[in-house]
């Protein structure tokens, strides 16, 4: 099995001092590794009825999974980017807050969805995305991440959902 860890680059002090950024772009440069990542992610959960992918790196893995499973891809976007009628969720960041949106007609009631992002840190973004899907009556069957930073409480915050990640890295709580 391809060792995906080799394709994640640590970038210290990005985008701010004290943050160790997990850069996935080396993985994107290697089509064999990227395909392996999609296949390994897909193997973790049952085939859903739609993929909800989180802006913006979640779109990469979400698109790969939606094509792999041949199911619809639904982008969860930052406020103001979607042109149609939307539902919204406000969530907290380290400093301040942000808003994510889904098109109101993008999911059906009772549809089984998987939420996808590149990385799980505190879980705030993923919880907001799950709530968006639930606002539309969809059911979040699982949350899928390439990378999980453990020690930031993400898994606890997502305790009500099955959470799967391919690569775990320990991060001290700051």
Which residues does the annotation mark as catalytic?
Answer: 57, 94
Nearer to ligand AMP, 49 or 55 (CB): 55
CB neighbour list of residue 89: distance below 8 Å, 6 or more residues apart? 99, 100, 101, 128, 129, 131, 132, 135
Nearer to ligand AMP, 8 or 50 (CB): 8
Report whether 79 contacts 99 (CB < 8 A): yes
CB 117, min distance to ligand AMP, A: 5
Q: Which backbone phi and psi does 158 adopt, to 5 degrees?
A: -100, 20
123 binds ligand AMP (CB under 6 A): yes
Q: How far apart are CA 117 and CA 135, in angstroms?
A: 19
54 binds ligand AMP (CB under 6 A): yes
118 binds ligand AMP (CB under 6 A): yes
Nearer to ligand AMP, 49 or 151 (CB): 151
169 binds ligand AMP (CB under 6 A): no
Binding mask 59-98 for ligand AMP (x = CB under 6 A): ----------------------------------------
Nearer to ligand AMP, 23 or 134 (CB): 23
Report whether 57 contacts 75 (CB < 8 A): no
- Contact residue for ligand AMP among 119, 132, 143, 163 (CB under 6 A): 119
Token couple for 121: 């840190």
CB 119, min distance to ligand AMP, A: 4
22 binds ligand AMP (CB under 6 A): yes
148 binds ligand AMP (CB under 6 A): no
Using CB under 6 A, list all residues that contact ligand AMP. 19-22, 54, 57, 117-126, 149, 154
């Amino acid at each position: 099995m391809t060792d995906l860890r080799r394709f994640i680059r640590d970038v210290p002090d990005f985008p701010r001092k004290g943050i160790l950024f997990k850069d996935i772009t080396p993985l994107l440069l290697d089509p064999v590794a990227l395909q392996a990542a999609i296949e390994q992610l897909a193997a973790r959960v049952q085939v859903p009825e739609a993929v909800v992918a989180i802006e913006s790196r979640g779109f990469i893995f979400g698109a790969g999974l939606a094509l792999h499973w041949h199911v619809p891809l639904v982008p969860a976007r930052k406020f103001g980017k979607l042109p149609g009628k939307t539902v919204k969720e406000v969530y907290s960041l380290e400093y301040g807050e942000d808003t994510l949106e889904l098109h109101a007609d993008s999911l059906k009631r009772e549809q089984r969805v998987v939420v996808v992002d590149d990385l799980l840190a505190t879980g705030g973004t993923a919880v907001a995305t799950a709530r968006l899907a639930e606002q539309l009556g969809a059911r979040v069957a699982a949350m899928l991440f390439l990378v999980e930073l453990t020690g930031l409480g993400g898994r606890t915050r997502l305790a009500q959902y099955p959470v799967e990640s391919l690569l775990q890295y320990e991060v001290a709580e700051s």
